[in-house]
Amino acid sequence: MRLALLALLFAAGLCQAPASSAADTAATRLNGGLEATINWAARDQTTGRTAISATIINTGRQIVYLAHIGPILVVDNGGTSYKLPAISGVTDCSGWGGGEECLKNTLKNDAKFVNSLTQIDPNVPITMNFTFASGREPATVVSLATVFVVRFVDDPLRDDTLTDEQKVRQLKRMNVSFPAATITRSK
């Protein structure tokens, strides 16, 4: 509960991460003008739950459509093993089986999947929030890596003429390693 409140305060801008946190880390540059960074990471010492807020910004000229397919790897400098119970802010394919299973299922459900991808227009960021169950080890730094499927669109009018099946065929995997971030603790 406290971690959820902390996440809401951060999201509302009513609470800030310490100056030495992820805000000081450089963004990871990705394909197509995308950049990824961790905004903040926080751990509730009582429950051991960890929340990470991350941003992907489209600094390119194309429209980007993406979905999280996983798997996801989260490690910290205390050797903690993390499990992902929740993600928000981006289309998540874990309900379809994640990874390869997600991609196989999309071929059977072209329209449903392709029309549910998260759209990122040029010069627009999206913020994703990850919540993890973890141990209570005294780690101070966490890093996050995962896999998305993406589709880059140069011409929206031409894109409207494509079938859902053609759009699915344009999906490419993109591995994303977010820069490491300092963990803020709540007590």
The pTM score is 0.79
Domain count, the chain: 1
What contacts 184, CB < 8 A, 6 or more positions away? 6, 17, 18, 21, 40, 41, 42, 43
Q: What is the span of the domain harbouring residue 104?
A: 2-186
Print pLDDT tens along the chain (187 aa): 444 434 443 444 434 444 334 444 678 888 889 999 999 998 887 877 889 999 999 999 999 999 988 888 888 888 776 776 688 999 888 666 566 677 676 656 666 778 889 999 999 999 999 988 876 566 788 888 988 989 999 999 999 999 988 988 898 989 999 988 888 876 5
What 3-state DSSP class applies to 124?
A: coil
